[in-house]
Amino acid sequence: MIIVNSILDLRSTISAWKQSGLTVALIPTMGNLHAGHLKLVNTAKQKSDKVVVSIFVNPTQFGVNEDFASYPRTEQEDQLKLAAEHADLLFLPAITDMYSVNALTTVNVSGLSDSYCGASRPGHFSGVATIVCKLFNLVQPDIAVFGLKDFQQFTVIKTMIRDLNIPIELIGVDTQRESNGLAMSSRNNFLTDSERLLAAQLYQTLCIARAAILAGQQSYLDIEQQALQSLKNIGFVPDYFAICCCHNLTSATQQDKDIVILAAAKLGTTRLIDNIYFSL
């Protein structure tokens, strides 16, 4: 596996691949890799000739009082995991490589970025869209692979690709879960042992809500309110629990056939997100 830090080396390597007619997949990450990330690498290898993984803890997607400084950084372990999965190139840029001191340009996907996690974390999705757009520009991949655990993020990126006419195929990969259903996440490292046991009930609450919809319960608002109360009873501090149309994340109606249920809640000091999507 090639490891590069500079943009010049990144572009030089990828240019040689492209001249040889090879296809390239990109997986943007913030490191602290787990089995979910490695599943993305596996998927990318099936879809392309060369797989590029970036590790960059992006400061612009963290808000005031969020965990940028304490976000887990495990660069050495990550390199070993990616090499074992036969990733072709690891891009490890510095903040100064990705953002000039006087940078004035950001990318914002209006509407989609303002609700759910966007409402709780103002500016978060602008930070995400900006850094992903930069990485797309640097790598020029044919394919980009993202996990679907952050369904809102995936929808923001999908919309940005469409609106800016970026010639990239976007592939979403199902959430990798622990044996108890907890969605794998770098932030799970912040959970205590007892919180980790409780955390799986976020997914269980999503499953209960899905079952109610599939059983024909008509009031989505009632399902949402019951779920929020259930999470509070367990010990969560819910942020939102929303039944949405998969395509644009607006509140779902009885006419919508493709549904995603989005949820975010704090357990102790750790903010967890999860979702479940299905068709009627």
pLDDT above 90 for 123: yes
**What pLDDT score was predicted for residue 197?**
92
pLDDT at residue 66, rounded to an integer: 85
Instruction: Give the integer Cα–Cα distance in Å for 177 and 237.
Output: 22
pLDDT tens track for 192-206: 999 999 999 999 999
Does the annotation mark 34 as catalytic?
Answer: no
Average pLDDT value for residue range 20-43: 97
Report all structural domains of the chain as residue ranges with CATH numbers, in order of start: 2-173 (3.40.50.620), 186-274 (3.30.1300.10)
| Mean pLDDT along residues 231-236 | 97
Give this prediction's pTM: 0.95
**pLDDT surpasses 90 at 212:** yes
Mean pLDDT rounded to a whole number for the chain: 96
pLDDT at 46: 97
The one catalytic residue in 37, 86, 124, 247 is 37
Q: What is the average pLDDT across 213-224?
A: 96
Q: In this predicted structure, what is the pLDDT of residue 70?
A: 86
pLDDT at 67 (0 to 100): 83
Rounded distance between C-alpha atoms, residue 127 and residue 59, angstroms: 8
pLDDT at residue 64 above 90?
A: no
